[in-house]
């Protein structure tokens, strides 16, 4: 993998881990102008089509005109901080991606820090596995799942032959083998969902064109139940590409294959765990415009996507620039481009909001010193008195040398009453 590819791969994996300690290139949204009336008056920008007996939403790019500013509170019901246990063995890196369940917080591997498990009150449970090459050890983790009902944690490493299984104390138990039918096949990058009660695992892989399948449903022993052939989805082997998923569907694995150089028009898919069908759910019609780098995400009441372009910053190195995010309501097919300001703190723009979202939650992993700076800035500009009081109380509790804070916001399932002042 060359430097260009590695740069993009590492950047995209770390998107959900960004803690806000790097200054955004966007100016603060100091006065987020939100009202339900503005959102309700958005134009219809999409239509529905029938594909194989299933409904798919098609957004027309030329109908996306205006950009609206939305507060984070439009998307989440609350945004509460959790102070993580400060003992040495509990310390996490701010780049660690965060996964939240009803009772646990899992901070993913970053740098030389293995995955760390906490209770929702911030108390430390333990490390989940360790960094290395032995059983239950890993050097990089690409996807994670907490299964409280089965009392299990699942980790999918980079270039995986199996999913690692741990208990809720972080102790390694066993592997779930992948691709038992194709024993030599390695999943280069993948997203997965385990349903232990039904003895099923859904997997979508980065579709390198030498692989026989792009997605499948198997049992916990690795036996295929359904498999989806590669067909037109295959791409050249290139780790610049990503598989992204918000894990928003209860009965399916929703995922989108994002290609960086080999640009094409594709869809957000749902891999149905019951019937094994790979169902197209959302796509963007570029019309006569040149296809740019893009991705799609499934939210409870919206489809959200982004458009961006690569910019060369050095020999063999690129970064993305001029990101534009758009949303389409599932019920009314209305939409627009949008920006999000964090009105719970300092109205700092959230540049990659969908990548912070998984399993019905939006999270922010932030170092205490950075949080203190943002709270100080927020007290200067945030007009909401109740939030200001919470910010003042939080400032008094911060130990700049302590462990990180995890902010957790539950994604809204209803959009009639956001609690945002009109």
- Predicted confidence at residue 318, as pLDDT, reads 63
- Predicted confidence at residue 327, as pLDDT, reads 96
| 108 confidence band (pLDDT: 50, 70, 90) | very high
Residue 11 reports pLDDT greater than 50: no
3-class SS string, the chain = CCHHHHHHHHHHHCHHHCCCCCCCCCCCCCCCCCCHHHHHCCCECEEEEEECCEEEEEEEHHHCCCEEEEEHHHCECCCEEEECCCCHHHCCCCCCCEEECCCEEEECCECCECEEEEECCCCEEEEECEECCCCCEECCEEEEEEECCCCEEEEEECCECEEEEEECCCCEEEEEECCCCCCCCCECCEEEEEEHHHCEEEEEECCECCCCEEEEEECCCCCEEEEEECHHHCECCCCCCEEECCCCCCCEEEEEEECCCCCCCCEEEEEECCCCCEEEEEEEECCCCCCCEEEEEECCCEEEEEEEEEEEEECCEEEEEEEEEEEEECCCCEEEEEEEECCCCCCCECCCHHHHEECCEEEEEECHHHHHHHHHHHHHHCCCHHHHHHHHHHHHHCCCCCCCEEEEEEECCCCCCCCCCC
- Predicted confidence at residue 125, as pLDDT, reads 98
Domains of the chain are 3-410 (2.130.10)
- Predicted confidence at residue 63, as pLDDT, reads 97
Write out pLDDT tens, residues 301-357.
999 999 988 776 777 666 667 789 999 999 999 999 999 999 999 999 998 899 999
- Predicted confidence at residue 177, as pLDDT, reads 94
Residue 6 reports pLDDT greater than 60: no
Question: What is the residue-averaged pLDDT of the chain?
Answer: 88
Residue 198 reports pLDDT greater than 60: yes
- Predicted confidence at residue 390, as pLDDT, reads 95
Q: Torsion angle of alpha carbons 283, 288, 289, 295, nearest 10°?
A: 10
Who wins on pLDDT, 180 or 273? 273
- Predicted confidence at residue 415, as pLDDT, reads 64
Tell the burial category of 413 from Cβ atoms under 10 Å away from its Cβ (0-12, 13-18, 19+).
exposed
Write out pLDDT tens, residues 168-177.
999 999 999 9
Mean pLDDT check: name the lowest of 95-104, 221-230, 253-262, 305-314: 305-314
Who wins on pLDDT, 147 or 13? 147
Who wins on pLDDT, 238 or 279? 279
pTM: 0.89
Write out pLDDT tens, residues 121-167.
999 999 999 999 999 999 999 999 999 999 999 999 988 999 999 99
- Predicted confidence at residue 27, as pLDDT, reads 57
Residue 422 reports pLDDT greater than 70: no
| 395 confidence band (pLDDT: 50, 70, 90) | very high
- Predicted confidence at residue 18, as pLDDT, reads 41
> How would you classify the pairing of strands 137-138 and 67-71?
unpaired
- Predicted confidence at residue 107, as pLDDT, reads 98
How crowded is residue 359: how many other Cβ atoms within 10 Å of its Cβ? 16
- Predicted confidence at residue 238, as pLDDT, reads 87
Question: What whole-number distance in Å separates Cα of residue 339 and Cα of residue 332?
Answer: 20
- The mean pLDDT value for 70-89 works out to 95
């Amino acid at each position: 993998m060359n430097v260009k590819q590695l740069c993009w791969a590492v950047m995209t994996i770390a998107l959900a881990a960004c803690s806000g300690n790097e200054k955004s290139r966007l100016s603060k949204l100091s006065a987020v102008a939100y009202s339900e009336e503005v959102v309700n008056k958005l134009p219809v920008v999409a239509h529905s089509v029938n594909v194989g007996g299933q409904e798919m939403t098609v957004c027309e790019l030329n109908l996306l005109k205006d950009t609206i500013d939305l507060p984070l509170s439009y998307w989440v019901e609350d945004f509460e901080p959790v102070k993580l246990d400060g003992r040495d063995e509990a310390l996490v890196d701010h780049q660690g991606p965060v996964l939240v369940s009803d009772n646990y917080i899992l901070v993913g591997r970053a740098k030389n820090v293995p995955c760390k498990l906490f209770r929702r009150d911030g108390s430390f449970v333990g490390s989940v596995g360790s960094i290395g090459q032995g059983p239950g050890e890993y050097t990089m983790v690409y996807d994670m799942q907490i299964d409280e009902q089965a009392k299990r944690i699942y980790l999918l490493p980079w270039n995986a032959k199996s999913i690692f299984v741990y208990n809720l104390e972080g102790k390694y138990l066993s592997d779930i083998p992948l691709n038992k039918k194709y024993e030599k096949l390695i999943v280069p990058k993948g997203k997965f969902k385990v349903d232990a009660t039904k003895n099923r695992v859904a997997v979508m892989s980065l579709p390198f064109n030498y692989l026989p399948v792009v997605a499948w449903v198997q049992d916990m022993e690795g036996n295929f139940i359904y498999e989806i052939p590669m067909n037109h989805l295959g791409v050249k082997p290139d780790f610049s590409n990503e598989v992204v998923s918000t894990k928003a569907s209860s009965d399916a694995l929703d995922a989108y294959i994002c290609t960086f150089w080999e640009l094409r028009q594709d869809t957000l898919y749902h891999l149905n765990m019951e019937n094994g069908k790979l169902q197209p759910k959302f796509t963007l019609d570029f019309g006569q415009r040149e296809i740019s780098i893009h991705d799609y995400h499934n939210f409870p009441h919206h489809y959200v996507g982004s458009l961006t372009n690569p910019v060369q910053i050095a020999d063999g190195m690129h970064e993305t620039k001029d990101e534009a995010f758009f949303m389409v309501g599932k019920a009314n097919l209305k939409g627009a481009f949008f920006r999000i300001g964090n009105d719970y703190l300092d109205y700092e723009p959230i540049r990659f909001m969908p990548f912070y979202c998984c399993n019905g939650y939006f999270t922010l992993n932030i170092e205490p010193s950075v949080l203190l700076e943002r709270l100080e800035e927020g007290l200067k500009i945030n007009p909401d008195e109740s939030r200001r009081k919470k910010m003042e109380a939080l400032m008094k509790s911060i130990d700049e040398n302590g462990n990180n804070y995890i902010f957790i916001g539950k994604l809204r399932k209803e959009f009639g009453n956001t609690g945002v002042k009109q």
